[in-house]
Amino acid sequence: MSEKIRVLLVDDDPDFIEANSIVLEVSGFEVISALNGAEGLKRVSEDNPDIVVLDVMMENTDEGLAVARDIRRKLHSKVPIIMLTSVGKVTGYDFKPSEHPDFFPVDVFLEKPVQPQILISRIRELTSGEAR
C-alpha cells in the first residue's frame, strides 16, 4: 500500500488552513501546515512534502513569493508549488509562471477563494507519479 500524498499548506489564515485540511484529508491526502513563511520553509526542509500550497500574501505582501524562491534556491527543492492569490482578481493581472520562472518559481497560480475540487485536481495532477 502506498503512502498518502503529503500536502503542506502555508497560509497565515488559520480558518483557511483548517477548512482546506479537512477537505484534503477527506480526499485521502496527508496534510501538514504552517502559518507563516519561516515555518513553511522549516516544514519543507524537515517534513519533505510531496507538494506545497502557498499563499502569496501573508505577513508581508510578497512573502509567499519569497518563500517559493527560497524553496527553489536555498533548499534546492523541486517540490511542486501551487501559489494561491486573490491579487489577480483585484488587479486583472494574469500570473504566468512559465513566462517568468525566476520571478514566479511556482508550478501553478490559483485564484482565492479556490474551489476544493480544483485544488484537489491540481494537487493530483502535479503529484502524479510522486506518491510514495
Residue 19 Cα distances to 45, 70, 129, angstroms = 24, 27, 27
Q: What is the reported pTM?
A: 0.85
Confidence (pLDDT) at 88: 53
Q: Please indicate, yes or no, if residue 93 is contained in any of the structural domains.
A: yes
**Residue 94 placed within a domain:** yes
Task: Please indicate, yes or no, if residue 1 is contained in any of the structural domains.
Answer: no
User: In this predicted model, what pLDDT tens digit does every residue of 9-62 receive, in sequence order?
Assistant: 999 999 999 999 999 999 999 999 999 999 999 999 999 999 999 998 888 778
With respect to residue 41, please indicate whether it lies within any of the assigned structural domains: yes
**CATH code, domain carrying 69:** 3.40.50.2300
Per-residue pLDDT at 109: 86
Centroid of chain to Cα 55: 7
What is the CA 72 to chain-centroid distance, rounded? Answer: 13
Q: Which domain holds residue 83?
A: 6-127
Could you tell me if residue 132 is inside a domain?
Answer: no
| pLDDT for residue 94 | 53
Do the domain assignments include residue 69?
Answer: yes
Domain count across the chain: 1
